[in-house]
Amino acid sequence: MQFTSVSFLLFAAVTVGLYFSVPRKRQWWVLLAASYLFYFCAGAEYLIFILYTTCVTYLTARLMQKRADAEDAFVAANRDTMEKSERKAYRAKEKKKRLHILALGLLLGFGMLAVLKYTAFVLTGVNSFLSLFGTARVTIPSLLLPLGISFYTFQSMGYLIDVYRKSVRAEGDFFKLALFVSFFPQLIQGPISRFSSLGNQLFEPHAFDGFSFRAGLCRVVWGFFKKLVVADTAMIAVKELTSNTAEFTGVYVFLLILLYSVQIYGDFTGGIDITIGLSEMLGIKLAENFDRPFSSKSTKEYWRRWHMTMGTWFTDYIFYPLSVSNSMQKLSKWSRAKLGDKVGKRIPVYLATIVTWFLTGLWHGAGLNFIVWGLLNCLVILVSQELQPLYTGFHQKFPRLTASKPWGVWQAVRTFLLMGLIRSLDCYRDVPLTFRLWGTMFTDFQWGTLFCGGLLSFGLDVADWCVILGGVLVIFLVSRLGKTEPVREKLAKRPVLMCLCLCALTVVILLFGAYGIGYDASQFIYNQF
Amino acid sequence: MEQLLEILKKMHPEVDFAAEDDLIGAGVLDSLDIVTLITEVNSTFDVAIPAEEVIPENFASAKAIWALIERLDEE
């Protein structure tokens, strides 16, 4: 059941209706039933995997909580008789025991994800290696990859780490935890929520709130516009440009970078708008996942604004634990003594950054292109970091220039193009081919061919171009207008104007959207991750 | 506290750390700065800041960082 299907619209309408009809303390049961029905419709066999993750998460979290409660009770009971050093040692010992339970939970949780998602990738690598020696090949099993498994596994494992850290208490009700893992609007493409912010919201009663309902509805329709009108029209060109790479080189690679940026932005932010909007209609506020990423002036800033919940997940649960770990701190001390202060202090930070980006790439997909994508992002961030003194010097030398608006625009355009270039690895899915095609932009650009029919040679006609350019302009204007207060909230305060805008947007979607019988390409890109 | 201010000043000489109270929100300290700072703090004050303490509230100001160091030392 795709978000963009009529059946999903009916399903969502019935769920919202039921949610506000049942007694409030039973509302979360409606969400749980709806979430499991939604996932069942995606594939009955997927239920086994989500139930497995829920059981592993529930049991290990409960075990850790039991130990943590016993530890706190012991320390409280013996506070007067225990020395500070004894207390510290006892806490450290107990923490280690909880760490073992956490490690088991992570192994079981991530283990299943690793087996299902990466077995084929690893065995393909093994086969390539074996072929060098002419040895027999390993058979690659065909494994099921449940929809949204990366999202719900990461969300569940994040919760486990939070319980280990005592940031949250383990949920005692299995069914409530099952809802946290499976909440249907965010199940297949995030945002990756934290139990501390989402947990209680899911379980507490919600009275119908007209303002939230209207603002949420606006956001859902806006999401459909971004996805069906803008992203799916751009997708026609992206498909064509990536399927005929012998013909579409030079300037067409540049066009692909632009069009894929439009597609993925409309697709992913559109999907998230539907998710957050639908949740808002139910009175549940999910974490934002985007903050006008294409206006970022640097790669670091871009990654603070794009897929924010994934970025903070990797920062909080991989980057920091790794970089402040005992072994990394020891390495830092050693390298500072051996290599000097300047180089030595960079080593833990840089090592942790490389590992984090490698894993971020791997999270996106089991393929060399995703790993290279992650490492290239890492390279740009680290090089920018090293060049920081140069930038500071330049800013000090030309303060008026660097404070001017055109300079800011140049920085945003530069970041947009750089991120788009790296992102094209995601489209071509073949690293050497992508590098070769990047090369043709410098050796054989041939922009003139665009004006000799080239612009209409990859599936888009004049009307499609108008839809894409018009859509981008509307998205840009709405983004500018919503700088201080989101446009949907402004509209929700004026119901008549809101109705008019929703009707107009719906007509635009019906007229220009890519949907309907025979149209089979509107799966969200991030569903695959 | 003086030692901590010195460490921070070395990282960003242009910032008045005694007055600034939103180091994370204002983008003064990013993740790379925080790890560098933790390495310095751990070795200078003989504490071990664990990953779970790396939250914005603990690094929002020099005062907050100092409070964290004192708390970890006490625990």
- Judged by a CB distance cut-off of 8 A, whether residue A339 touches chain B is no
pLDDT tier at A257, thresholds 50, 70, 90: very high
pLDDT tier at A235, thresholds 50, 70, 90: very high
The residue written with tokens 């007694």 in the block is A23
Confidence at residue A523, expressed as pLDDT on a 0 to 100 scale: 62
- Per-residue pLDDT, averaged over B62-70, amounts to 93
pLDDT tier at A45, thresholds 50, 70, 90: very high
Q: Is the pLDDT of residue A317 over 90?
A: yes
The tens digit of pLDDT for each residue in B1-21 reads 888 999 898 888 888 888 888
Distance from CA of B25 to the nearest CA of A (A): 12
- Per-residue pLDDT, averaged over A399-411, amounts to 92
How many Cα neighbours within 13 Å face the side chain of A270?
30
| Integer CA distances (angstroms), A124 to A128, A129, A142, A148, A366, in order | 6, 9, 12, 23, 11
Q: Are the C-beta atoms of residues A328 and A348 closer than 8 Å to each other?
A: yes
SS3 label, residue B19: coil
Distance (Å, rounded) from C-alpha A387 to C-alpha A391?
6
Confidence at residue A23, expressed as pLDDT on a 0 to 100 scale: 94
- Per-residue pLDDT, averaged over B31-58, amounts to 85
pLDDT tier at A519, thresholds 50, 70, 90: low
Q: Is the pLDDT of residue A438 over 50?
A: yes
Confidence at residue A515, expressed as pLDDT on a 0 to 100 scale: 67
Confidence at residue A311, expressed as pLDDT on a 0 to 100 scale: 93
Question: Which of A 281-300 lie inside 8 A of B, CB atoms?
Answer: 300
Better pLDDT: A521 or A52: A52
SS3 label, residue A316: helix
Q: Which candidate from A300, A324, A352 shows the least CB-CB separation from B50?
A: A324
Distance (Å, rounded) from C-alpha A299 to C-alpha A308?
13
Distance (Å, rounded) from C-alpha A64 to C-alpha A27?
29
Nearest to B11 by CA among A319, A388, A199: A388
- Per-residue pLDDT, averaged over A506-517, amounts to 80
Question: Which of A 108-167 lie inside 8 A of B, CB atoms?
Answer: 165-167
Distance from CA of B1 to the nearest CA of A (A): 22
The tokens of A417 are what?
């193009």
Better pLDDT: A333 or A506: A506
Q: Is the pLDDT of residue A482 over 90?
A: no
Q: Is the pLDDT of residue B42 over 60?
A: yes
- Per-residue pLDDT, averaged over A476-496, amounts to 89
- Per-residue pLDDT, averaged over A235-261, amounts to 93
Residues of B with a Cβ under 8 Å from any A Cβ are 30-32, 34-36, 38-40, 42-43, 48-52, 54, 74-75
Distance (Å, rounded) from C-alpha A419 to C-alpha A377?
8
Q: Is the pLDDT of residue A385 over 70?
A: yes
For chain B, how many structural domains are there in total? 1
Look at chain B and count its residues: 75
CA–chain centroid gap for B48, Å, is: 13
Q: Is the pLDDT of residue A516 over 60?
A: no
Confidence at residue A27, expressed as pLDDT on a 0 to 100 scale: 96
- Per-residue pLDDT, averaged over A467-493, amounts to 91
Confidence at residue A528, expressed as pLDDT on a 0 to 100 scale: 58
Q: Are the C-beta atoms of residues A28 and A176 closer than 8 Å to each other?
A: yes
Among A11-20, A196-205, A379-388, B41-50, the range scoring the smallest mean pLDDT is B41-50
- Per-residue pLDDT, averaged over A11-40, amounts to 95
Question: Cβ B51–A320 below 8 Å, yes or no?
Answer: yes
Look at chain A and count its residues: 529
**Average pLDDT in chain A:** 91
Question: Cβ B31–A319 below 8 Å, yes or no?
Answer: yes
- Per-residue pLDDT, averaged over A40-61, amounts to 95
- Per-residue pLDDT, averaged over A232-250, amounts to 92
Residue B53 sits in a domain whose CATH number is 1.10.1200.10
Distance (Å, rounded) from C-alpha A144 to C-alpha A112?
11
Confidence at residue A524, expressed as pLDDT on a 0 to 100 scale: 67
- Per-residue pLDDT, averaged over B42-67, amounts to 89
Distance from CA of B50 to the nearest CA of A (A): 7
Q: Are the C-beta atoms of residues A357 and A374 closer than 8 Å to each other?
A: yes
Q: Is the pLDDT of residue A526 over 80?
A: no
Confidence at residue A521, expressed as pLDDT on a 0 to 100 scale: 45
Q: Is the pLDDT of residue A180 over 80?
A: yes
Better pLDDT: B30 or A164: A164
The tokens of A510 are what?
């019906």
Q: Is the pLDDT of residue A522 over 60?
A: no
pLDDT > 90 fraction of chain B, expressed in percent and rounded: 20
- Find the residue in A nearest to B40 (Cα): A345
Domain boundaries, position B63: 2-74
Q: Render the burial of A422-458: b for 16+ CB within 10 Å, e for the rest.
A: bbbbbbbebbeebeebbebbeeeeeeeebeeebbebb
Q: Which candidate from B39, B49, B74 shows the least CB-CB separation from A348?
A: B39
Q: Is the pLDDT of residue A517 over 70?
A: no
Distance (Å, rounded) from C-alpha A199 to C-alpha A181?
10
Distance (Å, rounded) from C-alpha A349 to C-alpha B34?
9
Q: Is the pLDDT of residue A342 over 90?
A: no
Contacts of A312 in chain B (CB under 8 A): none
Distance from CA of B69 to the nearest CA of A (A): 15
Confidence at residue A492, expressed as pLDDT on a 0 to 100 scale: 85
